[in-house]
Amino acid sequence: MTALVIFDQVRGRRLAAEIVTLGGDARAPGAEAVVGAVTLFAVLMLLAVGTLVASASAYLTWLVRARRATRVANPSGPVMAAWLLPGVNLIAPVMLVDQVWKGSRPPLDRRVRWLALAGAWWASWLAALALVMVRLPLRGSSGELTGLSGLELGVTAVAALLCACTVREITRIQTAPSRLRHLATSPAIS
């Protein structure tokens, strides 16, 4: 995303104007001059999409495993539903992550800190989503290729950092030696 924002700020507006003047005709005079920039833009878009798919897959895999570590039956169904069902995905994921945190048997004195972290992560995620889904279509007519700016990049970076903090917190609790000893001595939940 950083590379796309930089590309859009440095070359995007000019490239968009050049493409418009060509009328989409690859044989138009001057079309060869933009091939390199268009190719670079296409590669950056593919890298952004590939990174998004890889990080989403890694996160969902982690979440299913974290739910399994809390001995929840059918750990994958609710995870997929929480993230993929429109409308549900605006509230269910943060509730699901909170359920995993509670199921990991954390120290009770950390609840307020956890709620602040989870709330900040989810608020920043919704803000990033709103910027991309609402603000970008409004900016699309400004002659830019992506419409992404430092604002979208910053909010998305904060959301990613806070998401990583939630993953780290749950993983730390689940891998703590005292928790592992407790799970080894407790009966399995069916």
What pLDDT, in 10s, does the model give residues 20-29?
A: 777 767 677 7
% of the chain exceeding 90 in pLDDT:
47
pLDDT of amino acid 31 = 76
Question: Where residue 181 falls among pLDDT bands split at 50, 70, 90?
Answer: very low
Q: Which of 16, 48, 46, 47 is nearest to 34 (CA)?
A: 16
Q: What mean pLDDT is reported for the chain? A: 85
Between 142 and 31, name the one with better pLDDT.
31
Q: Is the pLDDT of residue 148 over 90?
A: no
CB 60 within 8 A of CB 165: no
C-alpha 174 chain-centroid distance: 23
Between 3 and 136, name the one with better pLDDT.
3
